[in-house]
Chains A and B, each alone.
Chain A
Amino acid sequence: MSAEAIESSFGRRTSRAPGPRRIGRPSVNIHTLRGIAGIAAFVAVWQLGATFHVWVLAKVPTPVDVATAAWRLLHDPRYYIDWLISFKRVFLGFIIAQLLGIPLGLFMGWKTAFRELTFPVLEVLRPIPPLAWVPLSILFWPTPESSIIFVLFLGAFFTVLINTVAGVRAIDERYIRAAVSLGATPATVFRRIILPGALPSIGTGMAVGIGITWEVLVAAEIIAGRNGLGYMTWEAYVAGAIPTIIVGMISIGIAGYLSSMLVRAIVARSMPWTRRA
């Protein structure tokens, strides 16, 4: 992922400056070219290092080996099913985390007494890595599938919760005062001030949260799964198919990137006011 992609991820400050450089060749984008060049250089270094057995790259298969393995997988329907299964798990965990985390966070940010009541508990639970929940999760959830989704849920839940609380608390007091003066009821203040006011911060929490969910996925699938991209990678390791391990890793990377883009696009769409005219 290029730095530009990160910068423009919320739709603001897209660095497409209509300068003289672009005149005459609108279809060529220098930023995209740089990104492609970076990937090409990375693959070239990898290929050379693996071919000439440079240091740790000695035991790594070459990009050509990996490409061959990928080509084989692309003709295997199970590979696509693994993609679908992992996507389904990630988004299920992620969406449940949003459905619980955002309302809870809004309420915690809004009502001081409720925040003071709940915050200490959450602050103790938060630093526990999602993977530390796996043993317990396997014990108290009825199916392996539900325990995987629970662990994925935890990955995104605390991030979005903390960001939502922070977003509500960062809302300028003037907005709330102005709304109350103008005759807004508490329900209107919540719907038209608190919610949109916290949205930028919620968006950040979502973007970070989806990334964490993918990070957690592999381990969760290794421990409790029978399929999915994470399990596929593990299975390849057990079978000693090293190029396939790397295909699995790259697949997860691409899947995570696509999910982040999707989430960022949705977030940017929901906040048209942050776009520059």
Chain B
Amino acid sequence: MSLRLGRLDVDEVSKSFDDSSRTTFVVDRCSFSLEPEKLTVMVGPSGCGKSTLINLIAGYERPTSGAILLDGRPVSGPAEDRLVVFQETALFPWMSVLNNVAFGPLSRGTGDRTEVLERAGSLLEKVGLRGFADRYPSQLSGGMQRRVELARAIINEPRVMLMDEPFRGLDAMTRELMQEHYLRLFENRPRTNLFVTSELKEAVFLGDRLLMMTQKPTRVVRVINIDLPRPREFHMLTSPRFRAIYEDALGMLYENDETSLSSGGL
């Protein structure tokens, strides 16, 4: 196991888009680091540019200025060492659930076919989808689809997992179930995670560190350490320590931008 790998540095990164008349900055001299084996959560008002940051780290887009380094080496283009779990599911509708999960290792030709499919099957079991391997994604519920998506990313053992509001749009109960699955996967095998959300409660519950973002053009205004013990359990949501951190962060949002509360609060 490649211990302590997966340090990601975002250094003075800016991203602007040109339209006919002017240049709009979406990300403005943004700097932060993702530490190995830590779950970093990014919270900020919706539409502030968090998804753009994810796209930059994933390599789908290039920064206008600044650098993104993974373990000291600049990021150039998408690769399996930084995998995104998208807001809307990006499972391939024409492949069975099992083939979706096995897609990464099979397309890179790592390991032989039977071994990969076996690994995919046991990973599906871990996310509670035993017996769904032969279904097509459209035959699963929204929550199940996102668990498949998680499995499809994790099987590649990426150095960095990029979670772009992956539980958005799920009903409250499914969302809790997803948080539990996600936490269990992370805590069993910690790796660098960046989890983007606009739900502050979810952010504090899941993360080791909280990056508080500004409105567009976005950058980090504050980093909050979350010292709640792991494994995280739902009863912690009512603990005084959770409340203290949560209120501290909420205060930040107030202070920082009043409009962010309506879109990013509870």
Partner-B contacts on A (CB < 8 A):
172, 174-175, 177-185, 188, 192-193, 196-197, 199, 271-273, 276-277
Q: Of A177, A183, A193, which one neighbours B156 at CB under 8 angstroms? A: A183
- For residue B138, which residues in chain A have a CB less than 8 angstroms away from its CB? 273
Contact check, B107 vs A175: say whether CB atoms are below 8 A apart: no
- For residue A277, which residues in chain B have a CB less than 8 angstroms away from its CB? 135, 139
- Least CB distance from A197 to B in Å reads 7
Contact check, B107 vs A185: say whether CB atoms are below 8 A apart: yes
Contact check, A196 vs B94: say whether CB atoms are below 8 A apart: yes
Contact check, B78 vs A180: say whether CB atoms are below 8 A apart: yes
- For residue A181, which residues in chain B have a CB less than 8 angstroms away from its CB? 58, 78-80, 82-84
- Least CB distance from B184 to A in Å reads 23
- How far apart are the CA atoms of A182 and B157 in the complex, in Å? 11
- A181 closest partner in B (C-beta): B78
Check B92 for interface membership: any CB of A closer than 8 A: yes
Known: A181-B58, A182-B103. A174 touches B88 (CB 8 A): yes
Q: What are the 3 tightest A-B residue pairs by CB atom distance, in nearest-first order?
A: A182-B104, A196-B94, A183-B108
Q: Would you mind naming 11 contact pairs between A and B with Cβ atoms under 8 Å apart?
A: A174-B86, A174-B88, A181-B58, A181-B78, A181-B82, A182-B83, A183-B79, A183-B107, A185-B107, A273-B138, A276-B139
Contact check, B88 vs A177: say whether CB atoms are below 8 A apart: no
Chief secondary structure at chain A's binding surface:
helix
- For residue B156, which residues in chain A have a CB less than 8 angstroms away from its CB? 182-183
**Per-residue interface assignment for chain B, residues 52 to 85, with 1 indicating a CB less than 8 Å from any chain A CB and 0 otherwise:** 0000001010000000000000000011101110
Contact check, A273 vs B93: say whether CB atoms are below 8 A apart: yes
Check B177 for interface membership: any CB of A closer than 8 A: no
- B55 closest partner in A (C-beta): A177
Contact check, A179 vs B103: say whether CB atoms are below 8 A apart: yes
Segment 126-148 of B: residues with Cβ below 8 Å from A: 135-136, 138-139
- For residue A175, which residues in chain B have a CB less than 8 angstroms away from its CB? 90, 92
Most buried by A among B58, B84, B92: B92
- Least CB distance from A40 to B in Å reads 40
- For residue B136, which residues in chain A have a CB less than 8 angstroms away from its CB? 272-273
- How far apart are the CA atoms of A174 and B86 in the complex, in Å? 8
Check B152 for interface membership: any CB of A closer than 8 A: yes
Contact check, B107 vs A179: say whether CB atoms are below 8 A apart: yes
**Per-residue interface assignment for chain B, residues 86 to 121, with 1 indicating a CB less than 8 Å from any chain A CB and 0 otherwise:** 101010111100000001100110000000000000
- Least CB distance from B169 to A in Å reads 15
- For residue A179, which residues in chain B have a CB less than 8 angstroms away from its CB? 92, 103, 107
Contact check, B107 vs A188: say whether CB atoms are below 8 A apart: yes
- For residue A273, which residues in chain B have a CB less than 8 angstroms away from its CB? 93-95, 136, 138
Q: Of B88, B107, B108, which one neighbours A192 at CB under 8 angstroms? A: B107
- How far apart are the CA atoms of A277 and B134 in the complex, in Å? 12
- How far apart are the CA atoms of A115 and B152 in the complex, in Å? 33
Contact check, A184 vs B94: say whether CB atoms are below 8 A apart: no
- For residue B95, which residues in chain A have a CB less than 8 angstroms away from its CB? 192, 196, 273
- Least CB distance from A167 to B in Å reads 12
- For residue A271, which residues in chain B have a CB less than 8 angstroms away from its CB? 94
- For residue A174, which residues in chain B have a CB less than 8 angstroms away from its CB? 86, 88, 90
- Least CB distance from B148 to A in Å reads 12
Contact check, B78 vs A177: say whether CB atoms are below 8 A apart: yes
- A184 closest partner in B (C-beta): B107
Most buried by A among B94, B95, B103: B94
- For residue B58, which residues in chain A have a CB less than 8 angstroms away from its CB? 177, 181
- A191 closest partner in B (C-beta): B107
Contact check, B90 vs A177: say whether CB atoms are below 8 A apart: yes
